[in-house]
Amino acid sequence: MQKEYSLIINGEQVAGGRGTFDVINPATEEVVSACPYATVEQLNDAVDAADEAFKTWQYSSDEERKQALHRIADGIEANAAELAEVIVKEQGKPMFLAQAEVGGAVAWTRYTADLEIPVEVLEDSDNKRIELHRKPLGVVGSITPWNWPLMIAVWHIMPALRTGNTVVCKPSGLTPLNTILLAEIISKEVPAGVMNLVTGESGIGSAITGHEKIRKIVFTGSTPTGQAIMRNAAGNLKRLTLELGGNDAGIILPDADVNAIAEGIFQTAFLNMGQTCAALKRLYVHDSQYDQVCEKLVELANAQTVGDGMAEGTTFGPVQNKDQFDLVKDLVDDAKANGASVLCGGQPLEGKGFFYPPTIVANVTDDMRIVAEEQFGPTLPVIRYSDIDDAVERANRCDVGLGGSVWSSDIEGAQKIAQRLECGTAWINGHAEVLPHAPFGGCKMSGFGVEFGQEGLLEYTVPQTLNINK
Ligand code: NAD
């Protein structure tokens, strides 16, 4: 029997007050399942439940919350096969990648469970002791995108719970089902009202970001939505963590060993069919190596097996949704019309599904849309440079700054250049790698605040200075 998906409000599974909407499989364009469509009144119920639960959950012991997170990790592990299958069907990525996403969700949950919330002693003298404590904020609203839906929900929810907040999560309407399963797993391990989930689109997102009882929004998604959220969150001065879009540049230095780095470049540019916030999206290559790099990348692209993520042997899935698919197609067509060379791919596959093969575009200039805009899809523009200072300046000439990378055999030289990149994370001989202990976030219009590590954890807290006159 097909599973029925529900909202989760105050520990109960509840049907959507506005009925359901369909979740589409991007590989087949068929309906995966119906998803409940919440009303704004149901969202208000969820926030009320979270607000009520916060009254006691904020005083739960550190140990209690650590144990809860470990039990949640056990629950994710126990349901790993179902979660991975749902991710493939609604998101489109190949099975091995969905399994990696579930594995990442477990690892991040356990890591977050074991983080400590510090108490700093600022003074301890004869007359005075000053301590800096960290308190939870209250109800946290989490709004997630469709590219790594399970992983990003875990990144939002676990640090919120670990620090004693309660949560109302709204996943993307394009990929909500895995997050409903996650919320079911979580709600079994925490008191009613601590974890709530609502699904539905128009009106729900803005009702969350404007809600007077929500104290913080953690949002991962596009820059325009982030700007709308920031405006809407001003009413009660919500704390914000905004993880927004990027247009990451990678620079290959002339001393790099192209054969050694090509695979790393390809994988980090096309990770999740390029639908990764910190994927390599613009590649700057020195004149002396330009043809060799293009040739290697084309070889790797042609070796991919594009198909349904559920099929054996698929290494490359569809684009997640029609809008994104159309955008990628437009950007490649625009580059072609303006004189760029499409070295491989460049045409959607015929038949059902939003399949667009990995596409390498050469002879591009910085002003072409494919370079200037975030593609967030399976295409990589390769851009020529002859002077490294010029390459750095062009890499930085954009209003977002999530990640960046330098590829070279000279680690010290590469580091000097990487530190000049205007981005939240700079990698050397790598890209797009995120780790639970390394703070991750953007600068410029890629947002603010970080996730992961202790810095990320503390974003879910407010400092309280305890000033004791002895
Ligand atoms: P999106 O901004 O369209 O949607 C993200 C979420 O916001 C969805 O749940 C959506 O329903 C909700 N939403 C839409 N309008 C809203 C509003 N007015 N108020 C509140 N919520 C609203 O983004 P997307 O298309 O789902 O994701 C792709 C984008 O996300 C890309 O730009 C990508 O770079 C970015 N992204 C960033 C990171 C990061 O960590 N920086 C990670 C993943 C994706």
pLDDT one-digit tens code per residue, 194-253: 999 999 987 999 999 999 999 999 999 999 999 999 999 999 999 999 999 999 999 999
Compute the distance from residue 143 Cα to the ligand 1 centre, in Å.
8
Mean pLDDT over 447-457 rounds to 97
Mutate which of 35, 156, 222 to test ligand 1's pocket (most atoms within 8 Å of Cβ)? 222
Average pLDDT of the chain? 98
- The answer, yes or no, to whether any atom of ligand 1 lies below 6 A from the CB of 91, is no
pLDDT at 128 over 80: yes
Reading the block at residue 135, the tokens are 């308190």
pLDDT at 398 over 80: yes
**What pLDDT shows up at residue 202?**
74
Q: Is 121 left (phi over 0), alpha (psi -120 to 50) or beta?
A: beta
Active site residues: 243, 277
**What pLDDT shows up at residue 2?**
79
**Which residues on neighbouring strands pair with residue 124, listed in sequence order?**
129
Residue with the nearest Cα to atom 30 of ligand 1? 221
Query: Residues 28-45: pLDDT tens digits?
Result: 999 999 999 999 999 999
- The answer, yes or no, to whether any atom of ligand 1 lies below 6 A from the CB of 143, is yes
Instruction: State percent of the chain over pLDDT 90.
Output: 99
- The answer, yes or no, to whether any atom of ligand 1 lies below 6 A from the CB of 221, is yes
Round the CA-based radius of gyration of the chain to a whole number and report it. Answer: 23
Q: Residues near 281 by Cβ (< 8 Å), separated by ≥ 6?
A: 246, 247, 248, 249, 269, 274, 374, 375, 376, 380, 381
Query: Residues 375-397: pLDDT tens digits?
Result: 999 999 999 999 999 999 999 99
Question: 247 and 279 in contact (C-beta within 8 Å)?
Answer: no
**What pLDDT shows up at residue 7?**
98
Mutate which of 277, 320, 325 to test ligand 1's pocket (most atoms within 8 Å of Cβ)? 277
pTM score, whole prediction: 0.97
Q: Decide which of 426 and 2 is more confident.
A: 426
pLDDT at 1 over 70: no
